Structure formats: structure tokens, C-alpha cells
Amino acid sequence: MSLRVRLTLLYVSIVGGILILFSAVIYGLVTLTLLAEVDDTLERTWEDVQRIARVSASGRLEFVTSISFNPNVFIQAWDRNGNRIGATISVSQLERPLDEQGLHESGPVFRDVFIDSVHLRVLSVPFLVGGRPFGTVQIGANMTVVDGTLQDLLRTLTIVSLVAIVLSGTISWIATYHALRPLDLVTQAALQITETIDLSRRIPQTSHPNDEVGQLVRAFNLNLSRLERLIETQRRFMADVGHELRTPLTVIKGNIDLMRRIGADEEFFQSIESEVDRLTRLVGDLILLAQAETGKLPMDSQVVDLDTVLLEVFRQMKVLAKDQIRLKIGEIDQVLVCGDRDRLKQVLVNLISNGIKYTPPGGQVTVSLGKKGNYARLVVSDTGPGIPEEDLPYIFERFYRGEKSRMRSKDGKGFGLGLSIAYWIVRHHQGRIEVASKEGEGTTFCVWLPLVDGECEGEE
């Protein structure tokens, strides 16, 4: 059963239930009102009977000639022995009581009875003479008009309810068609995208952008955009991995061929070992990135003296810089953060080694550490060639190395993974990493990490 049919049945059921309830209430109120009017008429008639009725010497109850009663009201009087002692002309030929059970009641009783298929409403009241029970007076009213009125009302309510249910069903069927039409378009567009595998297509916005369907279309298009970027990244990733693997494998294969022709040489083994080490680093970096992107990167959580780590990395990087690059420490402050010491050290090594690698001889790399608000601020700046503005949004992506950017490794040992690893490590420490650069004016990386606030989660 389609959603449109289910919604239509739901609307019809709700409207039908309300109409049935409303009709039942109206019918009940009208019935009670008409019965109250009939009972009031019977009671007023009984008051008139009490006022003018007299018992004759023969024991009969005389009241007919003294008052003109409603022609639709019938009166009978019965003594205690069940003998009729009075009646109006309209029921003078009726030898049976209007209400057989009412003759034995000790108080006034209203009851509905049927005599020869005629519906009557009967009031039976004990009649007292001299304070002692003398008999029973029964006053009946013909209910034909009341029954006819109620039947007409029931028929009208039924017809009105049926017409209203049909109209509500028709309106809801049309309304749900227009409401669900955009969903049909979404489904058709999604199927076309699936069949053509064209993730660049988008679902047209045919409804109001702020209603439920509009929000669904917008969310679906956003997911398509994200999926398109993900697949494009995956394609580029596979191409880059193939490119990075091809060079060391070619070198290894060439060395093996040379060894077969001219014999083994220590230089060949060193070259093969170097390329194997390069492949090992590549695989390790890829595993690290995969763990980081899936949220499964193992992280310790201890108080880390970040300035001590910085000085340690600084001493190591001095060896890498040699005498060609000036490695300088700017402002430095004692900073404590929560995190994994080895991973944070890896961030520092990646950023400083990048600065050294892409800064020309005679240039300078400056490292500073301080506090700003509740964050530690680590800055690594260099006087290198800078990064083109069009490359800046992509430098933290895996294997991204713009042709004009400083990301192109000069020694052929880089993979374009260092900044990606640094980005994910900083992100897993609830921090952020920023970059500012202009061509010919150098590059500055700024890392923000939250300061220690109480105890770290990993501490005993």
C-alpha cells in the first residue's frame, strides 16, 4: 500500500470518526431535548388532572368534561383492583392499560411502550384520595412526530457525514498527490543518478526550500556533493598511490636487473634498502591516516609539557638544517596541554622539517610558542617561496602537491602526507591548524591546542 493511499485513509478515518462522534452527540442532544419536552407536557397534564379530577359516587374518576386536553395526550384511570375508572375519549375503547407495569409502581414512572405498533410515552402516577391510595392515573403521549423527527435527523446526519467523508477523501487524495509529487521527482532523479553513475547531477528544488520535502532535497544534494568529493578524492588517492609506488618499485627492479648482469654490489643493496624504507614509511603513513580519518587513531592522554617537546624537536631539526638554513626560536612560554606526547612531537617534526625542506639556502625558519586565552599557540614560519593562493585550501589533503607550490619535494622522498597527518593529529587533540602564505613571502603554520583544564582523561 502506497504512502498516498495510507495518508488518504488516515485523513478519511479521522474525518469520519469526528463526524460520527459529532452526529452521535447531536442526535443524543436532540433526543434528550424532545423527550424532556414530552415529559414536561405529561407532567403539566398530570397537574391539570390533579386540579380538576373528582371521584363520583359510583367510584369513577371524572375529569373529561371539565378540561380540554391535548388531542395527542391520552389519559386512563385504574383502581387498585385493575378496573378502569376513567379515560379520555381518544382511548375510551381501549380496555387495556397504557402501561401494564406502571399499575404496580409506588411512585411516578416514565416508560416507553408500544400499543399496536404505536409508540407511546407513558407517565404512571399513583392517585390518592383522602391521603390513601385510590388507583393509578396513566397519561400517554403519541411519539410518532418525535420518532419521525429523529429519523429525519438521523437520515440528514448520515447523508451529510457520507458526503463530507467522500469530499475529505477526494481533497486528501489530491492534496497528498501535490505534497508527495516532489518525492516522486526525488526518487526518479535518484534512480537516474544511480543508473548513470553521474554524481555531478543534482535533484531539482521543486518545492519550498524550507518545508520538509525541500529540506530532504537539500540534504540529499549535500550528500551527493560529499559523495562526489569523496569518490574524486578516492580516485586521486589511488592514482597518487600508484604514482608513488611506481618510482621505488622501478628503482628496485632496475637494481635487481643490474645485479643479475654485473653481479651484486653494496651500492645496489643500499639503493634497494632505501627504496624499501621509503615504501615502509609510505605504508605506515597511510595506515596512520586511515586510523585518523575513521576515528580509531590510538591516542594517549597525559599532561604534555609542550615547550620541552618543542626544544627537543628544535635540537633534532638543527642537524637537518645544517648551516644552510637558520633555525630560530622566537617567543616561548611554558605550556601544558593534554594529549599524546609522541603524536604532538610528530606534528612539530612535520611542520619544522617542511619549513626547512622548502626554504632556500640562507633562509630562516622561526618557531614560537605561547598562550592566547584557553589555547596554546604554536607558530612555525619560514621565508620560503610560499604557497599559491589556489593551493591553500587543499594542502592538508593526502598526496596533494601543487605544481607551483612548495609542496613539491626536492629530494623525491616526500609523499605529500606530512601535513595531512599533522592535521588529523591536531584535530584529534580538539585543536585546529591554520596556514597563511603568499608567493615569495614565505609561509606560516599556526597550531591551536586547548590548555590543560583539570586532569587529563588518561591519567591515573
- Inform me whether the pLDDT recorded for 163 exceeds 90: yes
Answer yes or no: is 184 within a domain.
no
- Give the rounded distance of the alpha carbon of 243 from its chain centre: 45
- Which of 238, 263, 293 is the last residue before a domain boundary? 293
- Whole-number percent of the chain with pLDDT over 70: 83
- Does residue 17 sit in the same domain as residue 88? yes
d(CA 355, CA 359) in angstroms, rounded, equals: 6
**Do 271 and 337 reside in the same domain of the chain?**
no
The reply to whether 121 and 54 lie within a common domain is: yes
Same domain, 226 and 366: no
3 pLDDT tier (thresholds 50, 70, 90):
confident
Under 8 Å CB-to-CB from 14, ≥6 apart: which residues? none
In a domain, 165, yes or no: no
Last residue of a domain, one of 114, 134, 149: 149
Secondary structure tally for the chain: helices H, strands E: 7, 14
| pTM, rounded to two decimals | 0.48
Nearest to 279 by CA among 313, 258, 253: 253
Which three cell numbers mark 375? 589555547
Do 316 and 274 lie in a common domain? no
Same-domain check for residues 368 and 442:
yes
**Does residue 433 contact residue 376 with C-beta atoms inside 8 Å?**
no
The answer to whether residue 380 is domain-embedded is yes
Do 344 and 249 lie in one domain? The reply is no
Same domain for 353 and 306: yes
Domain co-membership, 396 together with 312: yes
Question: Do 335 and 253 sit in the same domain of this protein?
Answer: no
Q: What's the confidence (pLDDT) of residue 310?
A: 92
Query: By the 8 A CB rule, do 354 and 447 touch?
Result: no
Eight-state DSSP code of residue 451: B
Instruction: Return d(Cα 321, Cα 367) in angstroms, integer.
Output: 13
Whether 291 shows a pLDDT value over 70: the answer reads no
| pLDDT-based confidence at residue 400 (cuts at 50, 70, 90) | low
The size of the chain, in residues, is: 460
Residue 118 maps to a domain: yes
Does residue 224 belong to any structural domain of this protein?
yes
pLDDT at 87 over 50: yes
Q: Which residue has better confidence, 272 or 19?
A: 19
- The lowest-confidence range among 42-46, 149-153, 187-191, 376-380 is 187-191
Alpha-carbon span 81 to 136, nearest angstrom: 10
Q: Which of 101, 117, 149 is the last residue of a domain?
A: 149
Residue 315: give its domain's CATH number: 3.30.565.10
Question: Does residue 117 have a pLDDT over 50?
Answer: yes
| Residue 28 domain flag | yes
Instruction: Locate 83 and state its grid cell.
Output: 378496573
What are the respective helix, strand and coil percentages of the chain, to the nearest 5? Answer: 55, 20, 25
Residue 193, domain member (yes or no): no
Domain containing residue 49: CATH number: 3.30.450.20
Based on the structure, what is the number of domains in the chain? 3
Closest CA to 345 of 297, 311, 322, 369: 311
Under the banding of pLDDT at 50, 70 and 90, the label for residue 71 is confident
Q: Can you tell me the distance from the alpha carbon of 74 to that of 116, in angstroms, rounded to the nearest whole number?
A: 15
The CA distance from 412 to 317, in Å, is 19
pLDDT at 237 over 70: no
Query: Do 231 and 275 reside in the same domain of the chain?
Result: yes
DSSP structure string for 36-63: HHHHHHHHHHHHHHHHH-EE-TTS-EE-
CB of 161 closer than 8 Å to CB of 105: no
What is the dihedral sign for C-alpha 53, 55, 57, 60? Answer: positive
Q: How far apart are CA 351 and CA 340, in angstroms?
A: 17
Outline where DSSP puts E strands in 95-231: 109-115, 118-129, 132-142
pLDDT category at 413 given cuts 50, 70, 90 is very low
**pLDDT at position 285:** 67
Which structural domain, as residue segments, surrounds residue 45? Answer: 3-149
